[in-house]
Each structure stands twice: as structure tokens, then as C-alpha cells.
């Protein structure tokens, strides 16, 4: 349960009304649920804000309800659409959104109390789920360790060694506010969703996936997987948080990862002791019923080399340029950025 976005409340939500606030996208990054890492990736925040705003506007054009209101440029209180911001030759870092209520999720006696969450939530709340969609099953996907191919109607006895492209997306549900994300069966997800209809959540996830996948294809990107989060207000479910960015979703270009997965895999190769310590701490926390797994971790990550940070920066910026079809950032061509990342 980590975020590298700052969150500002302008008008708080109430039991009866949505509020208003903003995400301020920083250049921080997080891998393996660690939270803020030791260094930053320049222009990452602006690239994610640009890509996220672009996707929200695509969703609205396709009649998908969202909490998005627009973007705000530095030194201005005016809320504008992304096109207006970019025409001013400024990539935004602040996204203005509607706010809903987010009650506390108590953790007592080794379990989370969702009944208490919904008792405080009423009919205006952030649904405490992530709805995950997959268009392909990568070699390292957790789906392989949790399920068999037959569970998804696939004609394999066991998972093959290569990537599996799916004819139809797989949709799953996982927890959002627990210290360690865990995948849920449909019955458990329905219970945690509260009043919100689980079928509608799946429908929205499939719609978002379809729209992002089509837009990615325009830039010769393969949209591999991603997730959405949603709010429930006055009987309607709206897509919330941010969708379709290189942090929220996985994309590839000619077989090379171009999302945050690049940095995740780089840490696996160069800091394996820390990655293993994270895994062990999470497992121990789960066994002992401890919420704060980081307190059990015996290793910490070390900063990245400057050349690695530059490659990551170029990948975010060139990828955003390609996705939105414009020269928003001063960056190498997308093909050049991907080639450099492939050599990490």
C-alpha cells in the first residue's frame, strides 16, 4: 500500500457529497511495495500526469464515468484540459479530481475489519479493491503460481515457459489498503466491495483495458496488464486513482518492457539481497499476522547510478510522447530509449 503521488484536499468529501482535490505527481518511484526509493527519476511525475490525464479524457469520450476534472499548471489555480495545458508548452504535474470518503481500515487480531470500513463509508466511498486485468501472462506473473491454465479456460496442462497471449482478458480482484496486496476469489471481493456491484467493477475494468489497449497499439505498444480503482457515489461507480500509465500498467515494445517493470527487474539483477529480504519480510509478516512488513526487513535499497536514472527518465518521457502522439518532452526517439533500456 504505497504511493509516490502527493495528495491534496481542497474540499473534503462528506457522507452526502463528493469533495475536490488533486494528485501532485512527484519524481519519486517505488518498487516491490517499498514506498519512496532513495533517488528520483526526473520528469517522471509530469510524464505520468500527462499520460494519466490523456487516458481519463479518452475514457470520458467513451462514456466511462471517472473522477477526473482536469489538470492545473504551476502558479495557476485554473483547471484546464490536457490539450490546453500542452498548448501552453507545459507538461502538468497536478491532476484535479473529485474526492470521496476513505474511512480507516482497522487491523485487529491479525485481520482487517471491512465491516467497520463500510459502516463509516455509507454511500460515498473509495472501494477498497484493485481490479486487475491481464492481456498476457508473463513468465514471472504471479498468476502462474496461484492458478492453473485450466482455471482460465486455456488449453495447457501446465503453464508454458514462454509468454502466453490471451484471447480474452483475465480479470481478478485484489485488496487495496492492506499492507500486503492479496488476491481474492469473487465471493470475498464482493464482500469487500460493499454496496458496489462486483459485476459492474469487472465491466468497467474491461472497458478501460480495451480503450488503453487500442491507444497503446497506435504507438506500437503492447498493453500487457494493468488495474483500476473505483469510487462509489450515489449508486454510481466511477473510475478513480490514475489509469493507463507506465506505473499503473505494464507495456512492452517489440518484446522489451517499457514500464516500471524495467526498474523492478533491474533491482532484481543488481540488488538481489534486498529483493529477497523484502520477500522474506512479507512472508514472515503474513505468518505472524503483522501488518507492517517493512519493520521486519533486514535490508534497504541503495541508490541507482546516474546513467540508469537517465535511461529511466528517457523511457518515461519518450514513451509518453509516443503514447499521446506529441513532443511533450525533450527526449530521444522511443526506439532509442527502448534500446538503451534493453541494455540495462
Tens digit of each residue's pLDDT (9 = 90 or more) over 234-292: 999 999 999 999 999 999 999 888 878 899 999 999 999 999 999 999 999 988 888 88
CA geometry: angle 278, 319, 201, nearest 5 deg? 65
Separation of alpha carbons 102 and 237, rounded Å: 15
Average pLDDT for residues 312-321, to the nearest whole number?
96
pLDDT for 154 equals: 93
283 within domain boundaries: no
* C-alpha to C-alpha distances, 44 to 223, 290, 309, nearest whole angstrom: 19, 33, 11
H or E stretch at 145: helix 143-146
Supply 63's cell numbers: 462514456
User: At which residue does the C-alpha cell 505498444 appear?
Assistant: 221
The string of pLDDT tens digits covering residues 49-69 is: 999 999 999 999 999 999 999
The tally of domains found in the chain comes to: 1
The string of pLDDT tens digits covering residues 218-240 is: 999 999 999 999 999 999 999 99
206 within domain boundaries: yes
Q: Average pLDDT, whole number, for the chain? A: 94
What CATH number did the domain enclosing 152 receive?
A: 3.30.470.20
The residues near 126 (Cβ < 8 Å, ≥ 6 apart) are 100, 101, 102, 176, 229, 230, 231, 232, 240
159 within domain boundaries: yes
H or E stretch at 107: strand 107-108
pLDDT for 2 equals: 47
294 within domain boundaries: no
158 within domain boundaries: yes
Average pLDDT for residues 133-143, to the nearest whole number?
91
Average pLDDT for residues 126-149, to the nearest whole number?
93
* C-alpha to C-alpha distances, 12 to 66, 126, 163, 296, nearest whole angstrom: 18, 13, 45, 35
pTM listed for this prediction: 0.91
What pLDDT band is residue 110 in, cutting at 50, 70 and 90? confident
Q: Residue 136: which domain range?
A: 5-270+305-342
293 within domain boundaries: no
Give the percent of the chain with pLDDT over 70. Answer: 99
What pLDDT band is residue 200 in, cutting at 50, 70 and 90? very high
What pLDDT band is residue 135 in, cutting at 50, 70 and 90? very high
Separation of alpha carbons 56 and 248, rounded Å: 13
Count of positions (residues) in the chain: 344
Amino acid at each position: 500500500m504505497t504511493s509516490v503521488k502527493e495528495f491534496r484536499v481542497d474540499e473534503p468529501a462528506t457522507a452526502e457529497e463528493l469533495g475536490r482535490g488533486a494528485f501532485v505527481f512527484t519524481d519519486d518511484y517505488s518498487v516491490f511495495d517499498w514506498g519512496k526509493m532513495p533517488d528520483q527519476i526526473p520528469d517522471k511525475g509530469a510524464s505520468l500526469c500527462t499520460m494519466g490525464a490523456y487516458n481519463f479524457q479518452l475514457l470520458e469520450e467513451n462514456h466511462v464515468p471517472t473522477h477526473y476534472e482536469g489538470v492545473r499548471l504551476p502558479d495557476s489555480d485554473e483547471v484546464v484540459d490536457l490539450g490546453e495545458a500542452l498548448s501552453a508548452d507545459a507538461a502538468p504535474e497536478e491532476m484535479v479530481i473529485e474526492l470521496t470518503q476513505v474511512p480507516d481500515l482497522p487491523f485487529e487480531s491479525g485481520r482487517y475489519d471491512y465491516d467497520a470500513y463500510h459502516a463509516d463509508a455509507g454511500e460515498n466511498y473509495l472501494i477498497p479493491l484493485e481490479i486487475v486485468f491481464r492481456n498476457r501472462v508473463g513468465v514471472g506473473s504471479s498468476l502462474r503460481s496461484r492458478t492453473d491454465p485450466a482455471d482460465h479456460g486455456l488449453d495447457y496442462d501446465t503453464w508454458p515457459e514462454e509468454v502466453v497471449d490471451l484471447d480474452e482478458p483475465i480479470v481478478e480482484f485484489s485488496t487495496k489498503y492492506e499492507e500486503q496486496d492479496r488476491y481474492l476469489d469473487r465471493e470475498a471481493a464482493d464482500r469487500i466491495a460493499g454496496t458496489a456491484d462486483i459485476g459492474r467493477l469487472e465491466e468497467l475494468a474491461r472497458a478501460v483495458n480495451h480503450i488503453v489497449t487500442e491507444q497503446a497499439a497506435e504507438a506500437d505498444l503492447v498493453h500487457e496488464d494493468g488495474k483500476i480503482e473505483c469510487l462509489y457515489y450515489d449508486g454510481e461507480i466511477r473510475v478513480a486513482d490514475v489509469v493507463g500509465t507506465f506505473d499503473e500498467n505494464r507495456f512492452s515494445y517489440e518484446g522489451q518492457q517499457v514500464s516500471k517493470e524495467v526498474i523492478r527487474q533491474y533491482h532484481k539483477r543488481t540488488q538481489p539481497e534486498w529483493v529477497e529480504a523484502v520477500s522474506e519480510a512479507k512472508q514472515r509478516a503474513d505468518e505472524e499476522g503483522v501488518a507492517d512488513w517493512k519493520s521486519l526487513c533486514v535490508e534497504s535499497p541503495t541508490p541507482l547510478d546516474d546513467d540508469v536514472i537517465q535511461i529511466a527518465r528517457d523511457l518515461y518521457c519518450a514513451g509518453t510522447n509516443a503514447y499521446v502522439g506529441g513532443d511533450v518532452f525533450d527526449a530521444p526517439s522511443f526506439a532509442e530509449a527502448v534500446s538503451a533500456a534493453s541494455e540495462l
